[in-house]
Every structure is written in structure tokens, then in C-alpha cells.
Amino acid sequence: MLYTPAVPRILATYHLACPRKQVEAAARWIAVEQTVEVPDALIDAHIEEAIVGRVESIDTLEDGRFAVAISYDAALAGGQLPQLLSLVFGNVSLGNFVRLERLALPAEFLARFRGPNFGVAGLRELVGVPDRPLLATALKPRGKSVAEFAALAGGFARGGGDLVKDDHNLVDARFEDFDERVRRCQAAVEETNAATGGRCLYLPYVCAPADELDRYVAAVRGHGVRGVLVAPMIAGLDTVRALAERERMLVMSHPTFTGAFQHDRNHGLEPGLLLGLLFRLAGIDVSVFVNSGGRFDFTREECGGIATALRAPLGDLPPAWPCPAGGMQFDRVGEMVAQFGPDTVLLVGGALLTHAPDVTDATRAYLDAVREAG
Amino acid sequence: MLYTPAVPRILATYHLACPRKQVEAAARWIAVEQTVEVPDALIDAHIEEAIVGRVESIDTLEDGRFAVAISYDAALAGGQLPQLLSLVFGNVSLGNFVRLERLALPAEFLARFRGPNFGVAGLRELVGVPDRPLLATALKPRGKSVAEFAALAGGFARGGGDLVKDDHNLVDARFEDFDERVRRCQAAVEETNAATGGRCLYLPYVCAPADELDRYVAAVRGHGVRGVLVAPMIAGLDTVRALAERERMLVMSHPTFTGAFQHDRNHGLEPGLLLGLLFRLAGIDVSVFVNSGGRFDFTREECGGIATALRAPLGDLPPAWPCPAGGMQFDRVGEMVAQFGPDTVLLVGGALLTHAPDVTDATRAYLDAVREAG
């Protein structure tokens, strides 16, 4: 039975690490576990037809695993992101041999999502950079004073940098401390922009108790800030979606706490599916991920897959920005630009801060390298 | 240097699967990655002392891995659950050899959390069952009519069952359908309770777009419902915490989408840490997990660890209920009661529905088995 895109079904392709003689039972197990979760005796003809997932195809992969395509009636996802996660990977996450590799979503489902507020074109307009890759940095390390962070932010803006975000470790116990830091860092960037004619953006990290998130975001807006950094797998993916939809700000995501979904190539979520497709559905404009060859173990292909998922056609959703990060050294700028292309944000944190004694000089040097590579 | 509990530090014990000659560097890497995430050149004496994690001890485990205890100043968690997750496992989740095995939280941090609204004693009072294990079931499979679900719920209540929850697949696209199902299932349970003098509780699954969650919960309350089922790793752990704190309802958690954190014994979160300690911090009264010997691959020890974490002393937080589930057959009731003890909710879904043609008879049979085992 072939998948018919005209029928509004969600198509999930899983890679299964199981013996050949078990693959058909495993495919059926997923189709049942993800939808009705009952013994076969309780599945009547109506439920089989209307609710249970359909095993559309089983193919053998080169590495000996199996690609199993299962389709679900889109109605099972209830038109919402939380239930989509549960439908395609909820219970099977509790197994240990199921990797959700691809997800095709019907137009009717996609139409419920706004996606990135700015995306590639919108952010280019915001920062006034028509064609080159963007340069971002992080305010770090935690432990520096607010004055030092403001000076860093201003210095980066003076050097021509495009996006300066809080390190995701900058989380204060007191709202007042958060508010003060945001106010002063934003002021430093705005003052520098006014002096240079630049359009650098400051993105504070919004990490708050769930019942205080609105207050934090309102404070950010009150200081004239245009965007935020969020951690979708900590705040909740749909909490981020709702925030992006309501606030219409620029939203950059940090991959903290996402790793357990991705570290095992035989189980979990393909990185492009999580940090690309799902984050983009949630309205992420810029998705930070750890690049290959840095401090972590992601492959060049996985990182390329994230970039592809962020920019590939997806209903009417604008394309988003891949943002490779994680121990990016100066001499890799050319390679990264070559791999990811112009519609990329290069996030350089510690490497920028150690590149030159002065952050403005370091920023200029990195920007020169970016321009040269482009 | 030994850990001093008097100092308000968070103590995280990681099990590392790495060669012996790398373990010290790996421990330092975690301590830095989780706090400042910069090259050593940027860590001055103040930041080293105040911010960077401290490697307190490194021990060799019997299986050749290493137990590395790292302490963090509790201030780094900002007194909040989202940042606690990021602090203890955020960036290292992106690696592939780090299992967070234990977490000791200072009293000052714990004091910020209310924990379960009912816990063991409170739920016993609600359902009027002083000492035996509780019996729970799930309304399933999706695809049955609301009338059938209401009949199931009423039949379970009539048989003397304690908790009947929605299957976590019961997610409607329309609020009105959710509202109608909750109204009728609650009415069926209430009518039966009135007739029998029983105190069965119905727990609808609240899974909604983040910006509609309050509306769903208000509807649930409006129907006189006393508790809900939630999926913390989908809704957001702190979203659940805020909901529990505000609504003061009974909160049962479903483990959907939690599995990737637990499936790899060399990476992720120890199950008792996630489904026990962290869920309890978030206010979960009853934590559903898949029992060993069922449809999934969790071990007897891991399941015991979840139960221990839910009931062990934790600041002033009440103990919560372990709720083993996942393909529990009738002939295992005695074994489960023996393993988990009386303060346990036994969740029997499909097995109950197939045990006898009539759900009331099946419920009575299961309850008899529970009483006999206790």
C-alpha cells in the first residue's frame, strides 16, 4: 500500500534496529502502541481503519536496519504540537531501538502553525544584512558583572556583529537582576547602534518559572528588545510556540537538554527533525546546534540535515536559520560558510572572546573572515 | 574535598562511560560545560570559585564506569525547575557518555517547591482507601464513542476501582469534544459513586496547545473533576508544576516522550531521577511508569528505583505514588504488590478490558487479587 499525499495523513518514517524476523511485528507494534495501546482483541474493524497507524512500507537499509513508514490520520494529532510529539514518538520513546527519522505533515496540519516570525528574509531586514552569513556571540561566562556583559555586548555591536545573545547559563534567582541585566545590555547595544548606524540585536535568555514567563517577556519588550533566546525542550516546545505566536518577536533556540533524543543513532529523534522541523513549527527563527568537529560528537551529515530541515519547503512556513555553534574556532569560518551557505548564523562564543584582547577587534576579524569566505 | 551538606550546593552524581585516563578531564569538562562553557583562559579565580562546578569525587564502579560527583552552587539553578534541568544535564545531554544518576538538592532549594498536592496520605483520603494498593485503569482504545468511555468509567467505579484516567491518546482537535467527554465520564463516575457509596476518581488527560491549557483545566474543574493526567515532558515539566501549584488538584503523570532520556544506561537520566524525583518536585501525585516484564525493557531495579525516589524523604515534600503499568497481566498482581508495597497504584488498562466480558466483573476480580496479595 502506497502513501497517498492527498489523504491527510501524517507519515512517520522510523529506522528500526531489530532482527529481520522481528521487523514486521515491530512495525505493527509501533502502529498500535502509538495510537490505541491495547491488545489486538480490543481492536475492531472501525478502530483498525480509523485509528491504528498504517504500516505503509518496510525497507532494508544499507546498515542492516529497517526503514518503516507508518501513517497516522492527522486528526490523531488534534491539530496541536504536544499531541504530535506524543503521536509520533510518545510511547515508543520508552523502547530502545526506534529512531524517528523523517516526518511528513499534511498541509492541513501545517496550516495551523505560523512558524518563524522573521525567518531568513525577516531577520536579514532587521539586521540590515542582505546576503552574507550573520555573526552571533554569547555573553559569557556567568560570573562576570552586568557592566562587563553590557560592555561585551556594546563592543560586539561596535565591531559590526549581528546578534548578541545571553549565555544560557545566565539565569538569575531574582527577576530584578534579570531585568537590570537586560536593560543595561540592551542600552549598550542601542547606544552603539546609534553611534555606528549598525543594527545589532540583543537577545536575552528567557528562562523563568512557567508562571512568571509572561512577566519576563513583558520586561524584555519594555526595554525595547526585539527577540529572545529560549530553550524549547526545557520551557516546553509548545510554550515556545505560543510565546512566538503571541509576541511576534525574533526567537532563537538553544539546544540545552535536547541531547538525549539525539545521541543514540538507533533510538530517538533525527537531529534535523527535532532542531529543524519541530523547532521551526514552534516558531524558532534561529536554531542553535552544536557543529561537527567542535566539543561534541555530531556528524557533518547530521548538522547538514538540521540546516536542510530549517530551510526546506514546509507548507507556508518561512525558512529559518541554522546556527552552528559549540567550540567554533577562527580557522573554521571558511569551512562553515562553505558547508552551510550564506543563510546561516555563525555563533562564536568563547573563541571570539579569546581571539583578541578587545572584543570589537575580535568581532571585526571574524566578520572579515565571514565576508572573505562568502 | 568532601561534600558538605551545610553548604547550599546541588550535588549531581554522573556515571561516565569513558576510559580511565580520560575521566578526570571528562569530570572537569562537565563542571565547566554546565556552568560557564568557556575555555579555561576565560575562567578567573572569582569565576572558578563562585561559578564553575566542583568535582567532589571520582570513584570506579564495578562495571568499569566512573561515578563522578560534581557540586554546583544552588544559586546557579535560580531557584527554579527549568534552570535546574539545564544546570545538571543541559549541555552534557549533547554528549553520549554521561548518565545523571543521582541528585541531592539543598533544603533551601527544595523549600521553593510544594510538591504533590495530595501525595500518599491525601489520595488515600480522597478515595477512602486506608491501606491497600490502589487500582487504576485507562479509558481506551481511542475510537470508542464517548458513551462507551462513560460506560467503561462507570463500570470500573461500580466494580470498586479507585482511579480511572483517560488514555493519553484521547486528544481531540476541538475543545467542545474534550469538554463533552470529560463531562459525561465524570457524570458516569459520580452517579456510580452516589449509588455505591464509592469514591472513584476520574482523571481526564489534559493535553492542549500551551495557550489553551488554562481553558481546558477550567473546564475540567467546572465539571467537578478532582484531578488530571498530564504528560510532563510534553507539556513542559515546569508548566505542570505551575498548574499543580495553582489548581491544587490531584496530578497523575504519563511517561510519554520520556523514554529517550532513559533507554541508554550510559547516557541520560536515571529513571528514578526523572520519573521520581523531578516529577515529584513538579507536583506529581502519581507517576505512571512502564513496569519490568511488560511491553518494554525497564529492569526490576530501575522500576524499584522510581518507587523509592517517589517515596523517599525529600525536604518537606509529601511522598508520591509509584504507578507501574504497561502490559500488566492478572497473574502478576501478587508479584507487583510484593515488589512495590501498599502505597502503589496498579494501572491495568488493556489487561483489565480483556479479563472479563464485563468491566465491573474484571475490576472486582483485580481488586480481589489486590486484597489477597496485600
Q: Which of B238, B313, B241, B306 is nearest to B272 (CA)?
A: B306
First to last CA, chain A: 46
d(CA B130, nearest CA chain A) in Å: 31
d(CA A12, nearest CA chain B) in Å: 16
Give the torsion through C-alpha atoms of B74, B76, B81, B84, to 10 deg: -90
**What is the pLDDT averaged over residues B243-267?**
97
- Listed by number, the residues of chain B in 58-87 with a beta carbon closer than 8 Å to a beta carbon of chain A are 75-83, 85-87
pLDDT score of A271 more than 50: yes
Note whether B47 contacts A: Cβ–Cβ < 8 A: yes
Give A4's pLDDT tier (boundaries 50, 70, 90): very low
Q: For testing the chain A interface, which of B52, B169, B248, B353 should be mutated: the one with the most A CBs within 10 Å?
A: B169
Note whether A235 contacts B: Cβ–Cβ < 8 A: yes
**Burial of residue A21, with CB atoms counted within 10 A of its CB: 0-12 exposed, 13-18 middle, 19 or more buried:** exposed
Residue pLDDT, tens place only, B309-340: 999 999 999 999 999 998 678 999 999 999 99
Q: For testing the chain A interface, which of B73, B263, B355 should be mutated: the one with the most A CBs within 10 Å?
A: B263
- Listed by number, the residues of chain A in 333-362 with a beta carbon closer than 8 Å to a beta carbon of chain B are 349-351, 353-354
Q: Do residues A315 and A279 touch, judged by C-beta distance below 8 A?
A: no
Rounded percentage of chain A residues whose pLDDT exceeds 70: 98
Phi and psi angles of residue A306, each rounded to the nearest 5 degrees, phi first: -65, -45
Q: Which of A218, A244, A215, A214 is nearest to A229 (CA)?
A: A244
State the average pLDDT for chain B: 95
d(CA A366, nearest CA chain B) in Å: 18
Cα–Cα distances (Å) from A174 to A171, B19, B36, B220, B281, in that order, read: 9, 41, 19, 34, 20
Instruction: Give chain A positions within 8 Å (CB) of B33.
Output: 295
Q: CA–CA separation, A295 vs A349, rounded Å? A: 13
Of A173-182, B292-301, B315-324, which gets the smallest average pLDDT? B292-301
pLDDT score of B6 more than 50: no
pLDDT at B188: 98
Amino acid identity, position B292: S
Q: Which of A293, A284, A292, A144 is nearest to A228 (CA)?
A: A284
Whether the bond into A141 is cis, omega within 30 of 0: yes
- Listed by number, the residues of chain B in 261-280 with a beta carbon closer than 8 Å to a beta carbon of chain A are 261-264, 267-269
**B113 → chain A, closest CA residue:** A209
- CA B280 to chain centroid: 7
Q: Which residue has the cell 480481589?
A: B368
Inter-chain CB proximity A143 and B83 less than 8 Å: no
Q: H helices within chain B, ranges in order?
A: 23-33, 45-50, 81-89, 107-110, 119-127, 146-158, 175-196, 213-222, 232-235, 237-247, 271, 279-281, 300-311, 333-340, 350-355, 359-373
- Listed by number, the residues of chain A in 308-337 with a beta carbon closer than 8 Å to a beta carbon of chain B are 326
**What is the pLDDT averaged over residues A246-263?**
97
SS3 of A328, please?
A: coil
**What is the pLDDT averaged over residues A276-295?**
94
d(CA B127, nearest CA chain A) in Å: 27
Q: CA–CA separation, B187 vs B167, rounded Å? A: 18
- CA B77 to chain centroid: 21
Inter-chain CB proximity B86 and A210 less than 8 Å: no
Instruction: Give chain B positions within 8 Å (CB) of A25.
Output: none
A42, A209, A268: residue with CB nearest B350: A42
Question: Which residues, 6+ apart, have CB-to-CB distance to A269 below 8 Å?
Answer: A89, A99, A100, A261, A262, A278, B260
For helices B175-196 and B146-158, what crossing angle results, to 10°? 30
pLDDT at A7: 53
pLDDT at B293: 85
d(CA B49, nearest CA chain A) in Å: 10
Question: Which residues, 6+ apart, have CB-to-CB distance to A122 below 8 Å?
Answer: A116, A250, A285, A318
The set of cell numbers assigned to A101 is: 527519522
CB atoms within 10 A of CB B374: 15
Q: CA–CA separation, B276 vs B133, rounded Å? A: 18
Inter-chain CB proximity A82 and B354 less than 8 Å: no
Query: DSSP letters along B278-333, please?
Result: IHHHTT-SEEEEEPTTSSS---HHHHHHHHHHHHS-BTBPPP-EEEEESS--GGGH
**A47 → chain B, closest CA residue:** B143
Q: For testing the chain B interface, which of A44, A52, A84, A86 should be mutated: the one with the most B CBs within 10 Å?
A: A86
The set of cell numbers assigned to A135 is: 555573526
Q: CA–CA separation, A127 vs A150, rounded Å? A: 19
Phi and psi angles of residue A235, each rounded to the nearest 5 degrees, phi first: -70, -25
Q: Which residue has the cell 505560543?
A: A242
d(CA A371, nearest CA chain B) in Å: 26
pLDDT at B210: 98
Question: Which residues, 6+ apart, have CB-to-CB distance to A235 below 8 Å?
Answer: A206, A207, A210, A213, B82, B236, B238
pLDDT score of B45 more than 50: yes
**What is the pLDDT averaged over residues A115-132?**
98
B77, B235, B269: residue with CB nearest A82: B235
**What is the pLDDT averaged over residues A105-127?**
97
pLDDT score of A327 more than 80: no
Residue pLDDT, tens place only, A142-170: 999 999 999 999 999 999 999 999 999 99
pLDDT score of B195 more than 80: yes
Amino acid identity, position B341: G
Question: Helix-strand-coil percent breakdown of chain B, rounded to 5?
Answer: 45, 20, 35
Give A287's pLDDT tier (boundaries 50, 70, 90): very high
Instruction: Give chain A positions within 8 Å (CB) of B211.
Output: 242, 245-246
- Listed by number, the residues of chain A in 18-37 with a beta carbon closer than 8 Å to a beta carbon of chain B are 33-37
Max intra-chain CA distance, chain B = 73
pLDDT at B7: 53
- Residue B269 belongs to what H/E stretch? strand B268-269
Inter-chain CB proximity B143 and A259 less than 8 Å: no
* Strand arrangement, sheet containing B163-166: B201-203, B163-166, B134-139, B345-347
Rounded percentage of chain B residues whose pLDDT exceeds 70: 98
pLDDT at A296: 79
Residue pLDDT, tens place only, A240-254: 999 999 999 999 999
Give B374's pLDDT tier (boundaries 50, 70, 90): confident
- Listed by number, the residues of chain B in 95-114 with a beta carbon closer than 8 Å to a beta carbon of chain A are 95-96
Q: Which residue has the cell 550546593?
A: B9
Q: What is the ipTM of this complex?
A: 0.96
d(CA B218, nearest CA chain A) in Å: 16
Q: Do residues A161 and A147 touch, judged by C-beta distance below 8 A?
A: no
Inter-chain CB proximity B235 and A236 less than 8 Å: yes
A83, A94, A257: residue with CB nearest B296: A94
Inter-chain CB proximity A37 and B350 less than 8 Å: yes
A47, A85, A92: residue with CB nearest B143: A47
**What is the pLDDT averaged over residues A87-98?**
96
d(CA A30, nearest CA chain B) in Å: 12
pLDDT at B81: 98
pLDDT score of A1 more than 50: no
Rounded percentage of chain A residues whose pLDDT exceeds 90: 92
